[in-house]
Chain A
């Protein structure tokens, strides 16, 4: 199927599809217009009453804002997302068992009530936290979407009126002038020198002229339609409104954008995968032990309480909040580097990006014409095109250059706006079109004060540029008081200029323009044109003093001066040059395994030239056309696979099937798409996504917004970007600099690695929290750790350390490896889970159990006497429970000892988590390679962890509800050998991984 026809969604945008109907409508409106037009006095427009009717029918002329999810829904989503469901189930079970126990009259029933309340609080608090985080990042964007209320000059009731653009209706006659934003889609009925900037719509950076003539079937191409939200650069025009609001072309693009569903971000998929995994483990262990405990003849109620314990132990309650904090820390860091992240999860997406589809204008280029090359004295000179140029370094000694620079300076109508003396030249605002601006700045940089030069060479006559002549001419007095001659300077289309010349200046001397020199000119012209540059020719003529005396009345209408047999001086070529940081950034993307594809509305030649200069097409690679040219064979004979690069025109793309597009995307590593329409951009992005790539799209125009939305991560330009683009994007580059994306990629990859570490750190202790329950059920020992105590680890001691891992530096050059494969390189892979759960977690557990047994033994219960005591131990009626020494314990004395056990277990886990935190700093390198003290935040984490444990143990020891007791000091050190073991063992693991890459050890132990 053909791309353009295949997808129903795009149908609406295709002008010719909806055309027949539109034509009829147009006709109707025209009739309407004629009715209201007085042929003698010009249009009288709609009557206010009729306008009001149509307004009532069509609605205001404004884009419907995208449907926002109600805040309450967003909030509720946070309440049920992630682990929340599991915790709600836990809370529910707690309340059920509270109800049952209360009915049975058991005093300790309230413990379950409190537990349920605590669990619910945990869910609600983390939910509020996540909601707040999301709201905060959305608020940043709210400032962007503010639209300035627009006015339109409309003719109604035969009167010109200034009304709000929102009030415009179909059939209204509006007048526009240079500088206005077009208030609706209008068909022009009168135009004078009208030029519009369609760049936000089509991506073309060149101003487009507009007239009343119908020139093309495609409404986007025809000259007599001006589009809503584009700008009129110069001239005036009058037109009839043909579409308003969402029915305008821009409105349809916007609705196309909002029709594109928000895909899940890669990190969201990863987190979901992780949540499912942990929930799966929790539920299966929970159910398994429920069955075991029921078959061990525990009461159903007890089994339910065990189930709650298992769920609480398994669910890392604080983790999702930690992930959010880590992401927002990275987002903050990126904002400092000019990447503003709208959607927190997008922070990581950039890291997993494998294809960047970049817009050209404004992103890769500076979005301003700049002189790039000069040709004089039969030689091409290169000019500095960097953003902050202050000097030009090419050879300026030749007399020809002196002459050329004079023409460039004088034959130019552009002027700096006043009051910008302290602004760098390249940043000054200029009145004039893009080429003249470029020339003005160019000469200002080289010659200094251009205005002064112009005043010294007073202008006496001038013919401005027009499209018939294709040249611009002015006549000046010379600054040399002894030289009474006039200087005629001319610039224009090179071939037209050359036609008018009979001589050419070489090294300051006029020489006759023979065919050899004309050949040299052609070669240079072709070469510069081939670079995608806009070339201008310059020539001059000193008018003989005798023929043209001081007082000669120059008349531009009668042309009483020579415009032929001039002296050709040189060529200047201009281009919108790439930003100086881009080539390096593209190179970095390359080495990071990211494919950079240029997708632009601009012409193929320009696009290819820019692609070459920034390295999107590398110096050595060729397109099919290049190969054909080199081998001198027709394009069809070239094997498409030989070409690494491809330049695809929008027209070609239109006739391609999806398979052909896939083939192009697959077979060529360097691709440029030129002359693409918004829906084609969308198709390209979808094509990339079909290759399983994570696609980043950069863009600034409205035309980019559907693609921005469709992309895994849309990146809008902060300065040049339109509101539509910013709204559709996930990230905004505040400095419009492509190089910032590289920073983003780096940060994204780092946070992915660090999140892995955070999760590994957090998951480990789950085993140490889970084992007590399992052993408690199976071996009937007194419960080693309470549910509340577990929550104190998960939401207390562990939070700051796990956030601290987000500050960890990269272990190796993360920009030298390939982007992760989103199917294979999971955030939480099997190795991570197995290593954390079954190795480090187990070591932690036995360390904590040792402390537990030590506490009990030293108080009188030796390990062997603890086995199987659960029923009597928990019996409230036994107040003379005998220990290993024959001592007898009341219930409360036992319970207090049990709390000491909780505290001991808690303290041991905390101590071992310190070791766990240290080993998680790296996954492959030794800690000593990484540096133990480089990440200061880790130490903040360690101290906070210990401080919280100390406070809980000694500060809150008297609060029995929390089940903490002041622990003897020596019990803090029981687990230390195990903490050291964890460290040593992990160093050993990493050593083998580094020593034997690719071995079964590496495959199974590296996470």
Chain B
């Protein structure tokens, strides 16, 4: 305590300070040994190292982005043949499994809601930016004539699906046991050659008629060129599904260049699903 109370002279303070700056006995510089300064150097070095490395990586990514075509990807190794999906989609153990009970409103209600939600992207307001196309051939666009240097996309509105549009029959035929399903082909920026029809063993009604995608929706020029593009759809209405039986259904997209026999990928060129419509027997 004695030392604590002692007043230090100025020269003592100066000496203490210089001793703090450089202590010749302990070889400490500003209270740190040189080894500790070495540690500091190494920390600084690592900071610098990581800054440089991060910069280098950023530079690499930047030059990568420079080489990337913003409109179409360089390769489409996996997308030679488009995937096909079904709406509504209910998966059980990685398989599409549609099961509902006519008598149970809730069981088909959610399927109907799903369809409505899906088709909301196809109402007239959502599609107003797209143009009406009438050509029966590919809609090739060499230049960017659309708004904001884009390319035009063709309009596809829900009403094209007629009975399956949800407009005429808001329940998509589910309560009658003649449900509508919507087949959607994945967007790929290739030119599908020719779309013919959907092969189907049952009694089926296609919308649009004949179940063809009109060629003017193709080719797809990519998100940047066609920001408002929507996939054309085909709706199928099954008219004669037996009740209380599980039916295996395959919807195949037929067209030159479209394969549907990839053993690893069940969703390429086709969509498979099980359908079971239950109806409680009316008591006699």
Check A839–B49 contact: CB distance below 8 A. yes
The size of the chain B interface, using a CB distance under 8 A, is 48
- A810 CB–B CB distance under 8 Å: no
Complex alpha-carbon distance, A884 and B53, angstroms:
27
Interface positions, chain B 177-211, Cβ under 8 Å from A, are 184, 186-189
Specify which of B37, B41, B184, B188 is in contact with A887 (CB 8 Å cutoff): B188
B64: interface (CB < 8 Å): yes
Q: Give A889 to B80 CA distance when docked, in angstroms.
A: 11
B77 engages A1003 (CB within 8 Å): no
Which residues of A869-905 are within 8 A (CB) of B?
876-877, 879-880, 882-894, 896-897, 900
* Pair B264/A960 contact, Cβ less than 8 Å: yes
Complex contacts, B57 vs chain A, CB 8 Å = 846, 849-850
Give the contacting residue for B222; candidates A863, A885, A894; CB below 8 A: A885
Distance in angstroms between the alpha carbons of A1004 and B37 in the assembled complex: 12
Set of chain B residues within 8 Å of A262, measured between Cβ atoms: none
Asked if B60 CB lies within 8 Å of chain A CBs, one says yes
Tell whether, in the assembled complex, residue A893 and residue B91 are in contact, meaning their CB atoms are under 8 Å apart. no
Stretch at the interface among A26-34, A629-637, A853-861, A915-923: A853-861
List of 7 A-B pairs having minimum Cβ-Cβ separation, nearest first: A886-B223, A892-B265, A890-B83, A888-B186, A1000-B38, A860-B73, A893-B78
Tell me, in angstroms, the Cα distance from A892 to B68 when the chains sit together.
24
A105 within 8 A of B: yes
Please, how many angstroms separate the alpha-carbon atoms of A842 and B222 in the complex?
A: 36
A residues near B93, Cβ cutoff 8 Å: 105, 107
Known contacts: A839-B49, A880-B184. The answer to whether A858 contacts B265 by CB under 8 A is no
- Min distance, Cβ A901 to any Cβ of chain B, angstroms: 12
Contact (Cβ within 8 A) A850 B61: yes
Closest CB of chain B to A771's CB: distance in Å?
12
Chain B contacts to A: CB under 8 angstroms: 37-38, 41-42, 46, 49-50, 53, 56-57, 60-61, 64-65, 68, 71-79, 82-83, 85, 89, 91, 93-94, 184, 186-189, 220, 222-224, 226, 229, 262, 264-268
Q: Which residues of B contact A879 (CB under 8 A)?
A: 83, 85, 186, 267
Q: Does A643 contact B (CB under 8 A)?
A: no
Complex CA gap A1003/B77 in Å reads 51
Name the residue on A nearest B262 (C-beta).
A892
**Contact assessment for A880 and B186 in the assembled complex, using a CB-CB cutoff below 8 Å:** yes
Q: Which residue of B lies closest to A861 (CB)?
A: B73
Q: Are A886 and B68 in contact (CB under 8 A)?
A: no
Interface: A843 (CB within 8 A):
yes
**Chain B hits for A890, CB < 8 A:** 83, 186, 265, 267-268
Task: Assess whether B56 is in contact with A846, with CB atoms less than 8 Å apart.
Answer: yes
Query: Besides the contacts A884-B73, A887-B220, A892-B267, what 12 more A-B pairs have beta carbons closer than 8 Å?
Result: A839-B49, A857-B65, A860-B79, A879-B267, A889-B79, A890-B265, A890-B267, A891-B265, A960-B264, A981-B56, A1003-B38, A1004-B38
User: Is residue A509 contacting chain B, with contact meaning CB distance below 8 A?
Assistant: no
A838, A850, A858, A880: which contacts B73 (Cβ < 8 A)?
Answer: A858
Q: Are A853 and B61 in contact (CB under 8 A)?
A: yes
Contacts of A883 in B (CB 8 A): 73
Within 8 Å of chain B (Cβ to Cβ): is A17? Answer: no
A470 touches B (CB below 8 Å): no
Chain A residues with CB below 8 A from B79, complex form: 860, 887, 889, 893
Q: In this assembly, does A496 line the interface, its C-beta being within 8 Å of a C-beta of chain B?
A: no
**CB closest chain-A residue, reference B79:** A887
Interface residue? A862 (CB, 8 A): yes
Complex Cα–Cα for A843 and B224 (A): 34
CB nearest to B94 among chain A residues: A876
A9 interface residue (CB < 8 Å to B): no
CB atoms of B46 and A893 under 8 A apart: no
Residues of A within 8 A of B46 (CB): 838
- Check B267 against A887 for contact (C-beta < 8 Å): no
Least Cβ–Cβ distance between B250 and chain A, in angstroms: 15
B-side contacts of A107, CB under 8 Å: 93-94
* With A849-B57, A859-B75, A880-B85: A886-B229 Cβ-Cβ less than 8 Å: yes
- A968 CB–B CB distance under 8 Å: yes
| Bound CA–CA A884/B73 (angstroms) | 9
Give Cα A774–Cα B76 distance, bound, in whole angstroms.
29
Residues of A whose CB lies within 8 Å of any CB of B are 105, 107, 838-839, 842-843, 846, 849-850, 853-854, 857-860, 862-863, 876-877, 879-880, 882-894, 896-897, 900, 960, 968, 981, 1000, 1003-1004
* Residues on the B chain within 8 Å of A1003, using CB: 38
Q: Complex: how many Å from CA A67 to CA B188?
A: 74
Tell me if A885 and B42 are in contact (CB < 8 A). no
Contact of A1000 with B187 in the complex, beta carbons under 8 Å: no
Chain B, Cβ-Cβ closest to A985: B49
Q: How far is the CA of A373 from the CA of B222 in the complex (A)?
A: 102
A893 x B83 contact (CB < 8 A): yes
Q: List residues of chain A with CB within 8 A of the CB of B53.
A: 842-843, 846
Dominant SS at the A interface? helix
**A849 to B56 alpha-carbon distance, docked (Å):** 12
CA distance A887 to B184 in the complex (A): 13
In the bound assembly, the distance between CA atoms of A838 and B93 in angstroms comes to 43
Pick from A842, A862, A886, A981: contact of B187, CB under 8 Å: A886
Complex CA gap A107/B89 in Å reads: 19
C-alpha spacing A853/B57, complex, angstroms = 11
CA distance A1003 to B82 in the complex (A): 59
Instruction: Assess whether A860 is in contact with B38, with CB atoms less than 8 Å apart.
Output: no
Q: Which of A849, A857, A900 contacts B68 (CB 8 A)?
A: A857
Q: How far does the alpha carbon of A892 sit from the alpha carbon of B82 in the complex, in Å?
A: 12
Q: How far is the CA of A955 from the CA of B67 in the complex (A)?
A: 30
Are B89 and A892 touching (Cβ within 8 A)?
no
Cβ-neighbour of B78 out of A849, A854, A859, A876 (below 8 A)? A859
A883 and B68 alpha carbons, distance in the complex (Å): 14
Smallest CB-CB separation from A1000: which chain B residue?
B38
Q: A885 contacts which of B41, B56, B65, B72 (Cβ < 8 Å)?
A: B72
- Among the interface residues B71, B76, B79, which one has the most CB atoms of the partner chain A within 10 A? B79
- A858 and B68 CA atoms in complex are apart in Å by 7
**In the complex, residue of chain A having the shortest beta-carbon distance to the beta carbon of B268:** A890
* Nearest opposing residue in chain B for A843, CB measure: B53
Taking the closest CB of chain A, its distance from the CB of B31, in whole angstroms, is: 18
Chain A neighbourhood of B91, CB < 8 A: 876-877
A850, A880, A882, A893: the one within 8 Å of B64 (CB): A850
Cα–Cα distance between A891 and B229 once the two chains are bound (Å): 22
Q: Is the CB of B267 within 8 A of A968?
A: no
B220 A857 Cβ-Cβ under 8 A: no
User: How long is the Cα–Cα vector from A459 to B236 in the complex, in angstroms?
Assistant: 131
Contacting pair A859 B268 (CB below 8 A) = no
CA distance A337 to B61 in the complex (A): 55
Subset of 24 A-B contacts with CB under 8 Å: A107-B93, A846-B57, A857-B65, A857-B68, A859-B76, A860-B79, A879-B267, A880-B186, A882-B187, A884-B223, A885-B71, A885-B189, A887-B76, A887-B186, A890-B186, A892-B264, A892-B265, A892-B268, A893-B83, A893-B265, A893-B268, A900-B77, A1000-B38, A1004-B42
Contacts of A858 in B (CB 8 A): 68, 73-75
B187–A888 CB distance below 8 A: yes
Contact B61 A863 (CB under 8 A): yes
A850 touches B60 (CB 8 A): yes
Distance in Å: Cβ of B110 to nearest Cβ of chain A: 15
A605 CB → nearest B CB, Å: 52
- Chain A residues lying within 8 Å of B64, measured Cβ to Cβ, are 850, 853-854, 857, 863
Across the interface, do B42 and A889 meet the contact criterion of CB distance under 8 Å?
A: no
* B262 cross-chain contacts in A, Cβ below 8 A: 892
Contact among B71, B78, B222, B223 for A889, CB-based, below 8 A: B78
- Cβ contacts under 8 Å, B38 to chain A: 1000, 1003-1004
Residues of chain A with a CB closer than 8 A to B94's CB: 107, 876-877
Residue among A859, A885, A889 making CB contact with B186, cutoff 8 Å:
A889
A886 touching B267 in the complex, CB below 8 Å, given contacts A850-B57, A850-B60, A893-B78? no
Shortest Cβ gap from B192 to chain A (Å): 13
Q: B36 to nearest A CB, angstroms? A: 11
- Name the B residues within 8 Å of A859 (CB-CB): 73-78
Tell me the complex Cα distance, A900–B50, Å.
28
Separation of A885 and B223 alpha carbons in the complex (Å): 5
